Chains A and B, each alone.
Chain A
């Protein structure tokens, strides 16, 4: 079955300055049939990574150099035809027949084919390349000089083939190609799809189920990142002077993915309202000492806003809702997400206070403080970041007075609180006289999914929230 003549497969010379190459993959296994010029193995050299075409048609009888091994140019790496199973030395391999021209397999003497390829590869300096000498009278092995493996080999995937492959989750390299150089044509891949070949492929990575998806960067920083998508191949050596490169952390990847997905999902609209915090400031002054002394808890402004929000949500179920498939899901509870910035800008996480509707001001203040501490000390467990129904973010700590946060999916709104500042404010007394007073004012925004929450509804929500804050009723919360 083997062809009578053994033909050596050698590590080709890929340009004069290249002296060795690494075999990255054998495309055929021992015993497999191969056609002349059909890609036989893949190699990697200093200059290029390429496929090596078979020098002859026949059976691949021997693989002498395994994948991952690096050998000098000209080294015999395999053999087509011949006995194959004989000794390890290739020289013995050719049958004892009177074939006059077994290619000398010694490593010092380059194969004619190789030499020719080298001459082609760098004709400018032929002196360095031993030309095929006249002393080689025999017909060269049927091998054509290794054609420069450029162009449309099997590896080239045309745009339409790439698109169809993507649509069906097919690896084009698994599709038998009939185009030039074995290229997979549109017809090939369509036939493959039709024949059900796609099903034999590993299923494409399942899309993350929306409902189960943890909100925002759900992964606790310490837990092993939940299988980040394979990083896109970053071309090495593309850094420009002055640039610094750092890998993307799992958390940053999670944030990036979530932010993008949220903007792609919800119709983000932001409404803002100005709230007079005079009453809250004075209530807080009183409660602060009491809470600190009795419970060691600081009643923050955020806790007041959280309390008022949770109460207001009761009247606005859509602001505490979710669009789930074709349905709108509302709740009798509020799982309140609190956006927490991690130290040194390492990211953002949204731990969740469950059943916030059952907490008074003290409970909210304590809960927020505890969960933020857990987040910063990386002690959150997955449950702590899941199941949020409404989120509050407080970017006002640095003095910003307005923002447009991104909704934590699949929620329908996020409340933003901003810097509390003293501002001149027009007040009207009982007899209708206007005066300018100095008031501690805070801007509060509601960013909502306009698919579900109408602007008027958001406006009424903010109005009622302001009402609660400006006329804070119970000091007990």
Chain B
């Protein structure tokens, strides 16, 4: 075990797979000589060479399209979008081609697109989004949103192993802020299995990504008031671990669905609807959602703070549920 940052754990996972499997290669803007905008692939080109750590032109369509073709031909490409926001240029290749290839032609498309996402550092509207729900809606794509360093490594390896196109949302705000023990050996963390980040009896928070930590802080505050909060970290949004969510709901009967993505059409709506459908008779309060408002992400720090759910927002929401 070593203590790694979330970012180091991603590097570790990628390096592990590139060392193990020659079909794995990395392509993206500035991932080679520069080591990536966030230095995830620092030193990779030296170790693996320019043919496996490819500096691409500023053309996400080409990056995603190239990866799709390479995956169909049997490679295991990993693409890095410099920011998750830029994936929109690759939408057609990803959604029209990669997501449907297996369905149409039977060929697997084992590719990973790494998507540095999320806000909290005044990145503004083009560098702060959390577009997971857009892709969770596309049959044929998987969406992974690790919260911890250990999961970051294990889920990345699972994503690379998976025969389907997998979007790997790595939260930028966690990169260097979050540290944790990460096994040195290779391991996988299964896609579609949630993790109980914190056990509790009174209220459940269903969340993923950076919001796990926001929820955790809120839970600590409420704990001193005698409200026991359970936090379920989905880990992967598609597939999502319905059974784990329903189990927590059956225990606490009160649920807050929390995400950093905007509210309308956010994946929390799907979770809330499923809870209402399948655990109706276990509910002791309305299912509550807490998410960013339906606007682009503001650049101004106070506005961004108002936009992204904060600890005090979560505390207020949980308190409301606890007192309901």
Taking CB as reference atom, which chain B residue is nearest A163? Answer: B281
Alpha-carbon separation in the docked complex, A152 to B282 (Å): 17
Report A-chain residues with C-beta under 8 Å of the C-beta of B323. Answer: 179-180
Q: What's the minimum C-beta distance from B50 to chain A, rounded to whole angstroms?
A: 60
A179-B324, A180-B323 in contact; A185/B284 too (CB < 8 A)?
Answer: yes
Taking CB as reference atom, which chain B residue is nearest A161? Answer: B284
Alpha-carbon separation in the docked complex, A159 to B249 (Å): 13
Contact of B282 among A159, A179, A183 (CB under 8 A): A159
Report B-chain residues with C-beta under 8 Å of the C-beta of A180. Answer: 323-324
B187 at the interface (CB under 8 A from A): no
Q: What's the minimum C-beta distance from A120 to chain B, rounded to whole angstroms?
A: 24
B86 at the interface (CB under 8 A from A): no
Q: Mark A145-162, 1 if CB is under 8 A from B, else 0.
A: 000000010000011111
Alpha-carbon separation in the docked complex, A160 to B285 (Å): 9
- Of A152, A163, A185, chain B has the most CB atoms within 10 Å of the CB of A185
A186 at the interface (CB under 8 A from B): yes
Q: What's the minimum C-beta distance from B246 to chain A, rounded to whole angstroms?
A: 13
Report B-chain residues with C-beta under 8 Å of the C-beta of A152. Answer: 324
Q: What's the minimum C-beta distance from B278 to chain A, rounded to whole angstroms?
A: 12
- Of A152, A158, A161, A179, chain B has the most CB atoms within 10 Å of the CB of A158
Taking CB as reference atom, which chain B residue is nearest A162? Answer: B281
Report B-chain residues with C-beta under 8 Å of the C-beta of A186. Answer: 253, 284
Q: Mark B237-281, 1 if CB is under 8 A from A, else 0.
A: 000000000000000010000000000000000000000000011
Taking CB as reference atom, which chain A residue is nearest B201? Answer: A187
Q: What's the minimum C-beta distance from B322 to chain A, rounded to whole angstroms?
A: 10
Q: Considering the complex, which residues of chain B in the window 297-322 have a beta carbon less than 8 Å from any beta carbon of chain A?
A: none
Taking CB as reference atom, which chain A residue is nearest B202? Answer: A187
Taking CB as reference atom, which chain A residue is nearest B276? Answer: A159
Chain A interfacial residues counted at CB < 8 A: 12
Q: What's the minimum C-beta distance from A279 to chain B, rounded to whole angstroms?
A: 61
Q: What's the minimum C-beta distance from B214 to chain A, rounded to whole angstroms?
A: 25
Contact of B283 with A159 in the complex, beta carbons under 8 Å: yes
Q: What's the minimum C-beta distance from B233 to chain A, rounded to whole angstroms?
A: 24
Alpha-carbon separation in the docked complex, A180 to B280 (Å): 20
Chain B interfacial residues counted at CB < 8 A: 9
Contact of B324 with A160 in the complex, beta carbons under 8 Å: no
Report B-chain residues with C-beta under 8 Å of the C-beta of A162. Answer: 281
Q: What's the minimum C-beta distance from B3 to chain A, rounded to whole angstroms?
A: 40
Q: Mark A194-218, 1 if CB is under 8 A from B, else 0.
A: 0000000000000000000000000
Report A-chain residues with C-beta under 8 Å of the C-beta of B281. Answer: 159-160, 162-163
Report A-chain residues with C-beta under 8 Å of the C-beta of B253. Answer: 158, 160, 186
Consensus secondary structure, chain A interface: helix
Alpha-carbon separation in the docked complex, A158 to B254 (Å): 11
Alpha-carbon separation in the docked complex, A263 to B66 (Å): 61
Q: What's the minimum C-beta distance from A283 to chain B, rounded to whole angstroms?
A: 62
Contact of A183 with B280 in the complex, beta carbons under 8 Å: no
Q: What's the minimum C-beta distance from B144 to chain A, rounded to whole angstroms?
A: 33
Q: What's the minimum C-beta distance from B152 to chain A, rounded to whole angstroms?
A: 36
Alpha-carbon separation in the docked complex, A185 to B285 (Å): 9
Report B-chain residues with C-beta under 8 Å of the C-beta of A161. Answer: 284
Alpha-carbon separation in the docked complex, A162 to B281 (Å): 8
Alpha-carbon separation in the docked complex, A6 to B285 (Å): 37
Q: What's the minimum C-beta distance from B100 to chain A, rounded to whole angstroms?
A: 40
Alpha-carbon separation in the docked complex, A179 to B253 (Å): 14
Taking CB as reference atom, which chain B residue is nearest A152? Answer: B324
Q: What's the minimum C-beta distance from A165 to chain B, rounded to whole angstroms?
A: 11
Contact of B280 with A159 in the complex, beta carbons under 8 Å: yes
Report B-chain residues with C-beta under 8 Å of the C-beta of A159. Answer: 280-284
Q: What's the minimum C-beta distance from A266 to chain B, rounded to whole angstroms?
A: 29
Q: Mark B280-293, 1 if CB is under 8 A from A, else 0.
A: 11111100000000
Report B-chain residues with C-beta under 8 Å of the C-beta of A158. Answer: 253, 283-285
Alpha-carbon separation in the docked complex, A160 to B281 (Å): 5
Q: What's the minimum C-beta distance from A166 to chain B, rounded to whole angstroms?
A: 9
Alpha-carbon separation in the docked complex, A152 to B281 (Å): 17
Q: Mark B7-18, 1 if CB is under 8 A from A, else 0.
A: 000000000000
Report B-chain residues with C-beta under 8 Å of the C-beta of A163. Answer: 281-282
Q: What's the minimum C-beta distance from A339 to chain B, rounded to whole angstroms?
A: 39
Alpha-carbon separation in the docked complex, A186 to B284 (Å): 6
Taking CB as reference atom, which chain B residue is nearest A179? Answer: B324
Report A-chain residues with C-beta under 8 Å of the C-beta of B282. Answer: 159-160, 163
Alpha-carbon separation in the docked complex, A179 to B285 (Å): 10
Q: Considering the complex, which residues of chain A in the window 166-194 have a beta carbon less than 8 Å from any beta carbon of chain B?
A: 179-180, 183, 185-186
Q: What's the minimum C-beta distance from B277 to chain A, rounded to whole angstroms?
A: 12
Q: What's the minimum C-beta distance from B288 to chain A, rounded to whole angstroms?
A: 14
Alpha-carbon separation in the docked complex, A163 to B279 (Å): 12
Q: What's the minimum C-beta distance from B268 to chain A, rounded to whole angstroms?
A: 20
Alpha-carbon separation in the docked complex, A361 to B285 (Å): 68
Alpha-carbon separation in the docked complex, A5 to B288 (Å): 42
Alpha-carbon separation in the docked complex, A184 to B273 (Å): 24
Report B-chain residues with C-beta under 8 Å of the C-beta of A183. Answer: 324
Alpha-carbon separation in the docked complex, A159 to B279 (Å): 9
Alpha-carbon separation in the docked complex, A176 to B324 (Å): 15
Taking CB as reference atom, which chain A residue is nearest B282? Answer: A160
- Of B281, B283, B284, B324, chain A has the most CB atoms within 10 Å of the CB of B284
Alpha-carbon separation in the docked complex, A180 to B254 (Å): 14
Taking CB as reference atom, which chain B residue is nearest A184? Answer: B284
Q: Mark B62-82, 1 if CB is under 8 A from A, else 0.
A: 000000000000000000000
Q: Considering the complex, which residues of chain B in the window 8-60 have a beta carbon less than 8 Å from any beta carbon of chain A?
A: none
Q: What's the minimum C-beta distance from A443 to chain B, rounded to whole angstroms?
A: 46
Taking CB as reference atom, which chain A residue is nearest B254? Answer: A186
Report A-chain residues with C-beta under 8 Å of the C-beta of B283. Answer: 158-160
Q: What's the minimum C-beta distance from A190 to chain B, rounded to whole angstroms?
A: 10
A-B contact pairs, 6 of them (CB 8 A): A152-B324, A158-B283, A159-B284, A160-B282, A160-B283, A185-B324
Question: 9 closest A-B pairs (Cβ-Cβ)?
Answer: A186-B284, A163-B281, A160-B284, A158-B284, A160-B253, A186-B253, A159-B281, A159-B283, A160-B282
With contacts A158-B284, A185-B324 known, what are 14 further pairs, Cβ within 8 A? A152-B324, A158-B253, A158-B285, A159-B280, A159-B282, A159-B283, A160-B253, A160-B281, A160-B282, A163-B281, A163-B282, A180-B323, A183-B324, A186-B284
